[in-house]
Structure formats: C-alpha cells, structure tokens
Chains A and B, each alone.
Chain A
Amino acid sequence: MRSRVGLIDVEDLKVGYGKLEIVHGVTFSVEKNEIFVIVGPNGSGKSTLLKGIFGIATIKGGKVVFNGKDITKLPPHERSKLGLAYHPQLRNTFENLTVRENIFLAGYFLDPEEFQKRLEGVLEFLPEIRQFMNRKVKTLSGGERQMVAFAMNLIRQPNTIMFDEPTAALSPKMAELIFDRIVRLKKEYGITVVLVEQNARRALELGDRALLLVAGNAKFIGPAEELLNHKDLASMYLGLRD
C-alpha cells in the first residue's frame, strides 16, 4: 500500500451514471493548498470525476480518501461536513430565493451570531454581492449567480472547494474576476482548489498541478506548466499552440 500524503487521494476511481461508466479508473492525489486543475476535451468525464469525488455520481470502483478518511460511501452532505465543498456548473443556486436567503441556507447550521460574522467576511471577499443581496437569483446575470454560489460555499468555511467550470458562458471580464478570486482563495485563505475548466490555457497558467483526462482515462498528471508547454498533448487535446 502506498503512503498517503495528499489531502484528496483518488485511487483507481471508476465513475458513471446508471449502467454507464464514464471515468475508467483514475488515480491521483491533490496536495494541501494547491490549485489542482483538471482539463480535457468535451465529454472526457471531467465533471463526472468531480461528481464522483463529491458522491453525486455513482462510484463503480476504487476509492476516495479525504484528509485520511475513506469517504467513498459517504453521502454528499456528510462529505460537506468534513470541509469538502462542491461548486456545480449549473443549478448551483435557488433561483426563486433572494441572494440573502441562498447564503442563509448555505449556513443553515450556524447560529445567527456566527452567521453574521462569517457573512461579513464573505462580503469582504466578494463585495460585488452587496448590491444585489435582496434580489431574487433569477434576476441576476450568469456571473453574478456564480458569485452567489461562490459565497454559499465560503460561508461554510470549507478547506477544499471543487469548481466545475465556474467560468462557462461568462464574459471574459467576469471570467477573469472569478479566476482572480480562486487564486486569492488559495493565497489568502489557504483553501485547496480543484478546478475543472474548459478554458485550459488560463486554468493551466494559474494552476499548480494538472490532470489531463481523455475519454475517461488520465493522459497526464504533473506540473501544470509542463502540460501547458507540452507540444503534443497541449495541441492534440487542448487545442493550445503557441
């Protein structure tokens, strides 16, 4: 048995939906306080892999260890209690509720004083939210919604956040804002980030290490910079060329 050093240890993980297997046995570790980027062509199973780690897609084999604890069979809300947070790509907020109610629900288990204290901290980190606190989420733009989902995770003070394509369908300016906050999460709060991104170049530039997923298999695991500069892999699978 190999020694476990990572914060998240994924071992020969197979994930799918129903009878369909999409991720065919992937092994990697995410270290504490790094930005671990998962990239790959469309349909390669990036989102499914995240869902497997969080427990909302069916795990068909292998295991997931978080902070030394085997969480393979734990339901999502139990994983969330351990400090693991998940930022889904879609439907990551309650549209018919106000922004305040959304954040309030994310901190459902907190007593009012603690909630207020944490809310101040979150609003300092995401000051943009202040101006639409009392609006219903369905009236917000895509970028604003991503920020609400971001805040909902922060109020729970996780030690790890897994982002599933947080910049999909956003304007370049808004996407850059989100990237900026993700980097600050790591630098200022020491939060570990797992980032699934379709903007491979940008993600690899700010990531520490990277996993290239192709058709459900790992093609590369190593420093993000190396993948970014890898002539074959970067051009073949990520459409990157200098």
Chain B
Amino acid sequence: MIDLLLDALVYSNLLVLLSISLTLTILTLKVSNFAHGDLAIVGVYGAYTFMVILGISTYFSIPFAFLFGGLYALATYLLVYGPMRRRGANFVMLMIASMAVDISTRSLLHMYADFMKSQLKVYSRGFIFDDISLDITGFKLQGIIFFSSLSVILLLLFLYILLMKTKFGIAMRAAIENPDLAEILGINVEKVYSFSWFLAGGFAGVAGFFLPFRIPTSPDLGFIILLSIFAASILGGVNSLAGAVVGGYIVGFSEILGTYLLSQPPINLNTAYRPAIPFTLLILTLMLMPKGLASLWSKGE
C-alpha cells in the first residue's frame, strides 16, 4: 500500500508541474493548448540525448529537460501564438493552431527518435530510465520520489518568489491581468509573455523527465497524458496557480489509487480504463463546480 501511495505521489508531482505550466500559458494567452503534453516529451528527449552524449548520471540531466521544454515552448510562442495574438486571433483559432502544433511536434519527435536510434545507437521509443536508490540516514528511498518532490518544491518556491517578490514578477502579474494598461505604463508585454512561455515549457520539461521512470516513453506519450493535465488544471479553476497545484494532487492520487482499487475484486476492472478517472473528474467539475476549486477560496471575484 505504501508503494502505491508513493507511486501516486510521483505521478501527482508530475501532474502538478504540468498543470501549473498549462495554467501559466492559459493565463497569458487564453489558449487551450493541445500541444502542452508534447512539451514534456520534448523535455525528456532533450535530457535523454544529453544523458547519452555526455554520459552523465540520470538526475544530472534535469536542467536539460527544463531548457529544452522551455526553448520549445518559447519557439511555439514566438512563431505561432504570439503573432496570432497580435493579429487578434480568438480562442478557437488559437486552439486549432495548438492542434496543428501538437501534430507537428509529434511528427518532429518521431523523426528525432529515428535520428537518435541511428546516430546514438540507443532505444528511442518505449525507453525507460533506471532509478537509483537513495539511502537517507538508513531510510531507503527511490530516487524519483525524492527528486520529483524536490523539483516540485523548488520550482513552486521559485515561481512564488518570482511572482510576489520581484519587480519582473509584479510586471508579469500586471501584464497577465490587463495587457493594455501594462503596455501604456511602458511594460514590454511581449517580453513578459515570452518569458512566461519559456517558464511554462521548462516546468513541463522537468515533469516529462520523470515519465520514463514509470512509463515507457515514446513521442506520442504527451498526447496520452493531456487529458489528465487538463483535468487537473480545470479542477483547480483554470486561472489559478494554487488551484493547479491542488488539482494536480487530487487527479494524480485519484487516478493511481482509483485504478488500483477498481482492478481489485470484486470489480476486477481492466486497468486500461485508467483514463476514465480523470475524464470523470473533468466532467464532474464542469457540471458541479465550473469555476473549479479556486472558487472556494476566491469568492466574489
């Protein structure tokens, strides 16, 4: 049972990072980004590549995951979403563009996977990372539990300090809330949005890095986990970063524990029904609490 809970914790950590970053992109651009899961996969392929080339130990490649996820998100913003925003594209146009970005990204990842296999001579589809075992004062712990939790704590702390305590962070919150007024005051809104997208991509990339420890990873995996990311973000209230954290943990734990419980007697349901859990949570949220959990602590906004 402990193992199951730890599994749920790891998966939830990953979802929290992804739903936080999805929320960041929604806050800046009001886009329902269907390519968001792909950012995680770009991150993990970037990290994997440098792990192989530099021969570094697994966890040392986390910064590469951040960097690749971030740069790819920045590129999609600068090449696709930013220009569309400036031309006044609406929600639906941006959403359809994100579908195109999703298809292109996965195709590029497939091409890259072939390249990786032929040039670096490693498994590039369905690969997994071997974990290390940490010994913390006699207490045995899998590396992923420690590192995924540490990543969530550090990145959330970083985001909090950035947004609440720094000049640039205050400008970010301002540009997100009222870009027109921010522009009048001389804040470079384009720069702020670009940075937000880089940050969002970085968070997603780090989340992606933890995938191969549990799930055989392939270029299409990003699209498969998309449903859970959206469920977490929408349960949290879409526009709330704090909500995304809570939503991530609820969806993550429900998905892992629920799948386990439903697969036990007397129900004996096939574990392939796993996506039904986030999907059910998503529908229930939209029906019963359309503004998500954030509506509980920010009444009257």
Residues of A whose CB lies within 8 Å of any CB of B are 54, 56, 76-77, 80-81, 86, 88, 91-97, 101, 104-106, 108-109, 138, 152
Contacts and interface: CB of A to CB of B under 8 A. Distances in A.
Contact of B180 (A56, A95, A101, A138): A56
A212 to B, nearest CB: 28
Given A91-B178, A94-B178, A95-B177, A56 B184 contact: yes
A151 B187 CA distance: 18
A93 B184 CA distance: 11
A108 B178 contact: no
A105 B184 CA distance: 11
B181 A109 contact: no
Interface of B: 167, 170-171, 173-174, 177-178, 180-187, 301
B252 to A, nearest CB: 28
Contacts of B177: 94-97
18 contacts: A54-B184, A56-B180, A76-B183, A77-B183, A77-B185, A80-B184, A80-B185, A81-B186, A86-B184, A91-B178, A94-B174, A95-B177, A96-B177, A97-B173, A97-B174, A101-B174, A105-B170, A105-B171
Given A94-B177, A97-B173, A108 B183 contact: no
Contacts of B180: 56, 91
A101 B171 CA distance: 9
Nearest to A88: B181
A54 B181 CA distance: 12
B230 to A, nearest CB: 24
A44 B89 CA distance: 30
Given A54-B184, A77-B185, A106-B185, 20 more contacts: A56-B180, A77-B183, A77-B184, A80-B185, A80-B186, A86-B184, A88-B181, A91-B178, A94-B174, A96-B173, A97-B173, A97-B174, A101-B174, A104-B167, A105-B170, A105-B187, A108-B167, A108-B185, A108-B186, A138-B301
B184 A76 contact: yes
B87 to A, nearest CB: 13
A96 B181 CA distance: 13
B183 A105 contact: no
Contacts of B181: 88, 91-94
A39 B180 CA distance: 25
B301 A97 contact: no
B188 to A, nearest CB: 9
Contacts of B183: 76-77
A12 to B, nearest CB: 25
A94 B177 CA distance: 7
A81 B187 CA distance: 12
Residue with the greatest number of chain B CB neighbours at <10 A, chosen from A56, A88, A105: A105
Q: Which of B170, B178, B183, B185 has the most CB of A within 10 A?
A: B185
Contacts of A109: 186
